[in-house]
Amino acid sequence: MSAQVKYLWTEGAVGERVGPDILEEGDRSRPFSDKFWSGVEAVSLERLKEIQLHRLKFLLSFTYERSQFYRELWDSKKVKPSDVKSLKDLAKFPIVTKYDFEKDQAARPPFGTAPTSPPSQHLKYWQTSGTTAKPRIWMDTRQDWENGILLYSRSLYGHGIRPGWRGFFAFGFPPFIGFWLCFAATEAMGCQVVPKGTLPTAAWLQLMRNIAGTAPSFLCSTPTFAIRQMEAAKEAGFSPADLRMDILTLAAEPGACVPATNRLLTQGWNAKIHDILGATETSGPILFSCEKQAEMTPVSDHINIDYFIVELLNPDTLEPVPEGSPGTTCVTSLGRYGMPAVRFLVGDYLRVDERPNCGCGRKLPLAVGGVAARTDDVLFVKGIKLYPSLVETSVRSLAGLGVEYRLQKKDNQVTVLVEADPGVPEKEYPELAQKLQQDIKLKAHVTLPVEVSPPATLPRLETKTPRVVKG
């Protein structure tokens, strides 16, 4: 290990640490400057791509040697790590999906053949959320976890969060990686942490209220549950702004980058709204918003490309899209070694600006406008692509409607399920349905049936909320 790179944990605490050192990371346990947690964030795009290639070559060799799943797959496609001379050569390797891992784990339970080390050498075990496929087991080594903490520290610091702040974590601690990793990074940064755990929402809000204003604070939550906490605060007779949150860090679903949702949360909480997004299979945040982007409409998210290679593909052909065009994401995680993700089809739909000249000074590319949709959630209605985020914008922009919604799919029909605001007479529901139908038609050029129900009809979840449901 280079003496110029200082890690959060000692070699003894991590065990086997593999992969190349990146000198620009310097001391990973503390901020590089008042603007950046890591000096890597400010290096040139050309240097970032050198780092990508350096890490990629090691990852492919390491994975081929230690992972039966990938070795057999790559041998069957007649590709090998030595084939990679440039970043473009990664496209020679096959794409893998969640269904490939699901099949592997079913054939060789419980962990499958993807891990590169025995279960005893892993620190954390996870289960994917299962919103679009059968839940799968995923694991992290101590080094994987340490790398994830670094990426979350960088991202939270990019939001404007600093050592000494207090983080409120509004989740029940299920076996989903994102919130746990953010929690660990918050502690590692030198912040205080307040977990919700199994507290009912009303009791949780009272806890927040009891200590409100005694430290700069942020809330980590899904966008959906951030809205539910707003509703619950109002039901209890006080404003969410009384809880004195300076920042909302939104995970698991797009939030800050959806203008109507951003506006709703900004006004309700009187706070800055940020995204921090990734996937269980890739670990660590792939995307995060900075302080400068939080001032923009729509918000765009930086991509941590020194730890992730994000390819944009045509969702129908899975071939690369032209530079500057939007596509669905295929991600290679360069800092996860225990259970690698090489060309994993994440499926977020976005457009990338490689040289954004962001006012924050970071040279990391931007996902312009954030995540537009998850490809798995895109619906085809009468030959037209329908994104849930588009419906969300309509729902959360119309007076008289609540903020929850679902897209109910039955055969070839998609129905929009929404709620009325409290106090709206039921006789006005048909008029609300017509207004929403017209607004969606104006945006998406398709007419959808709309059903308006009384308030609190649709369930509220702390974790990722499935927007597309079966009828």
Residue 445 scores a pLDDT above 90: no
Residue 87 scores a pLDDT above 80: yes
Residue range(s) of every CATH 3.40.50.12780 domain in the chain: 1-374
* Residue 147 and residue 336 in contact, taking contact as beta carbons nearer than 8 Å: yes
The model carries a pTM of: 0.88
Query: Per-residue confidence at 14, pLDDT binned at 50, 70, 90?
Result: confident
Residue 2 scores a pLDDT above 50: no
Residue 235 scores a pLDDT above 70: yes
Q: Residue 76's Cα: distance from chain center in Å? A: 32
Q: Which residue has the higher pLDDT, 190 or 468?
A: 190
Query: Per-residue confidence at 130, pLDDT binned at 50, 70, 90?
Result: low
Tokens of 267: 């006004």
The secondary structure element, H or E, covering residue 211 is: none
Tokens of 108: 């060789």
Going 144 to 145 to 149 to 155, the CA torsion angle's sign is: positive
Average pLDDT of the segment spanning 196-208: 96
* Residue 309 and residue 332 in contact, taking contact as beta carbons nearer than 8 Å: yes
Across 289-426, the runs of DSSP E, i.e. the strands, are 301-303, 308-313, 327-333, 344-350, 352-353, 366-367, 373-374, 379-381, 384-386, 401-410, 413-420
Query: Per-residue confidence at 139, pLDDT binned at 50, 70, 90?
Result: very high
What CATH number does domain 1-374 carry, 3.40.50.12780, 3.40.50.1970, 3.40.50.12170, 3.30.420.40? 3.40.50.12780
Query: Per-residue confidence at 346, pLDDT binned at 50, 70, 90?
Result: very high
Task: Identify the weakest region by mean pLDDT among 4-13, 123-132, 174-183, 240-249.
Answer: 123-132
Going 249 to 255 to 256 to 257, the CA torsion angle's sign is: positive
What CATH number does domain 379-470 carry, 3.40.640.10, 2.60.130.10, 3.30.300.30, 3.20.20.450? 3.30.300.30
Residue 308 β-bridge partners: 333
* Residue 219 and residue 226 in contact, taking contact as beta carbons nearer than 8 Å: yes
Average pLDDT of the segment spanning 453-459: 93
| Long-range pairs, 142-146, Cβ under 8 A, ≥24 | 142/9, 142/13, 142/14, 142/15, 143/14, 143/15, 143/16, 143/17, 143/18, 143/19, 143/337, 143/338, 144/283, 144/335, 144/336, 144/337, 144/338, 144/339, 145/181, 145/184, 146/7, 146/8, 146/9, 146/14
pLDDT tens for residues 299-324? 999 999 999 999 999 988 999 999 99
Residue range(s) of every CATH 3.30.300.30 domain in the chain: 379-470
